[in-house]
Amino acid sequence: MPADLERCVDFARRLIRTPSPPGEEGEVARLVGDEMRALGYDEVVVDDAGNVLGLFRGRGAAPALAFNSHLDHVGVGDPAAWPHPPFAAHLADDVVWGRGAVDIKGPLAAQVVGVAAALSAEPPPGDVWVTCVVQEEIGGVGARHLAPRLEASLFVIGEPSGNAVRRGHRGRVELRLHLAGRSAHASVPDEGRNPLFGLGRFLGGLDGLEPATHAELGASTLVPTLLSTDQASANVIPGEAWLTLDARTVPGQDVEGLRARLEELAVRAAGAGVAAQVTIPVSRRVTYTGLEMSIPADNPAYVLPAEHPAVRGAVALVADEIGQRPLDVWRFATDGGHFARHGAVPVGFGPGDPLLAHTVDERIEVVALEEALRANGRLSRELPAAITRRRR
């Protein structure tokens, strides 16, 4: 095994062996910072949110480029359901198993090591950052903190893509319906104002909402997911009911307009004596460094045209380095949406099968890491220049 690949595989396995759920990324952040220093990064910074940022300083004025991945991962559920223990980083037949193997510790290692292998001997034309952010899995706390602060307009998002270029995804918005009526004993229903009848009419009315459509990302979707009331007894009419809806949005869709339409529908459906309100919930998050942020459940969609110079440049460089791969979009939302919201251009590229993310079969092939190392190195040297050339 070549030295860079051996280092990447070893680093990915040490990352997997260090659990880092959202809010508890401190130890893995230290690992990443130590690795960057050992690999010769010019500067390694941990920002207020706990994001780890490694820099190779550019020799000229080419646009700054930022690689991006995240430090956290989703839960493991029942460890007994896993073919190999989720934090053992089991390696057999050139496959690394475990939580984070594809989402996103394998891809993170391929960015940190691949960029260093390409740039430590010779400075790039412009600044190149490798950014590893906190709390991606619970609303993008780290990316929301970083996006307005980092001076880079071009990103490579390392979420797994089978080492093909990705140019966008639908967004994810959570909406919460609250119906407030009046509780009463179930034997005297006329004394109460039962919000569940209005909730039923509201659900029926969802069929009548036209989805927003996008030529490349398809239709938006809206799905009711969670339901609760203020009561635990079967013989009491509830006074309040809550319904959560998961909306997958397309670029340009008016999220506030969607909220307002749903509220209108809810007010019509609620019935006499029942008040209705639809909100986008806001969660208070605290990072492992103690930074507090209020995060609305609104993760933006974005898409870059296939002809965008960054997309064309990335497709050409990847094809030249590891062979032609189909250009596509992701099925899930990423931190790329937060950077796009601040005017940046996020191109997606990462090793591993995206369908294995968040599953008990999560694993990554060593050959995928090897390709990603080379492609990331190539992108770190040449992607900004490809764009500058095309702009002239």
State the residues that interact with Zn ion by CB under 5 A.
Answer: 103-104, 159
The tokens for 95 are 């496959």
Contact in structure between 249 and 212 (CB atoms under 8 Å): yes
**For Zn ion, the closer CB: 19 or 181:** 19
CB of 350 vs Zn ion, minimal distance in Å: 9
Output the smallest distance, CB 215 to Zn ion, in A: 26
Q: How far is the CB of 357 from Zn ion (least distance, A)?
A: 6
Smallest distance, Å, CB 322 to Zn ion?
A: 21
Q: Which is nearer to Zn ion, 62 or 104 (CB)?
A: 104
Minimum CB–partner distance for residue 261 and Zn ion (Å): 31
Residue 56's Cβ-count burial label (10 Å; 0-12, 13-18, 19+) is buried
| 64 versus 157: smaller Cβ distance to Zn ion | 157
Provide the minimum distance between the beta carbon of 182 and Zn ion in the complex, in angstroms, as a whole number.
44
Say whether 20 sits in a helix, a strand or coil: coil
Distance (Å, whole) CA 50 – CA 222: 34
Measured from the CB atom, the residue of 169 and 374 that comes closer to Zn ion is 169
Q: Which is nearer to Zn ion, 143 or 179 (CB)?
A: 143
Q: Give, in degrees to the nearest 5, the angle at Cα 147 between 353 and 98.
A: 25
Report DSSP state, residue 64. P
CB of residue 136 to Zn ion, shortest distance in Å: 6
Minimum Å gap between C-beta 163 and Zn ion is: 16
Q: Which is nearer to Zn ion, 70 or 312 (CB)?
A: 70
Where does residue 126 rank: exposed (0-12), middle (13-18), buried (19+ CB within 10 A)?
Answer: buried
Alpha helices (runs of H) in the chain, residue ranges in sequence order: 3-16, 26-38, 106-119, 141-146, 195-206, 255-270, 309-322, 336-341, 366-391
* Torsion angle of the four alpha carbons 71, 75, 80, 83, in this order, in degrees rounded to the nearest 10: -50
SS3 238: coil
Q: Which is nearer to Zn ion, 56 or 330 (CB)?
A: 330
Between the CA atoms of 213, 219, 222 and 225, what dihedral angle is there, to the nearest 10 degrees?
-160
Q: Which residue is nearest to Zn ion (CB)?
A: 103
Q: Are 327 and 165 in contact (CB under 8 A)?
A: yes
AA identity, residue 90? H
Residue 99 or 167 with smaller CB distance to Zn ion:
99
Distance CA 385, CA 382 (A): 5
The radius of gyration of the chain's CA atoms, rounded to the nearest angstrom, is 23
Q: Which is nearer to Zn ion, 145 or 259 (CB)?
A: 145
Q: How far is the CB of 73 from Zn ion (least distance, A)?
A: 8
Amino acid at 355: L
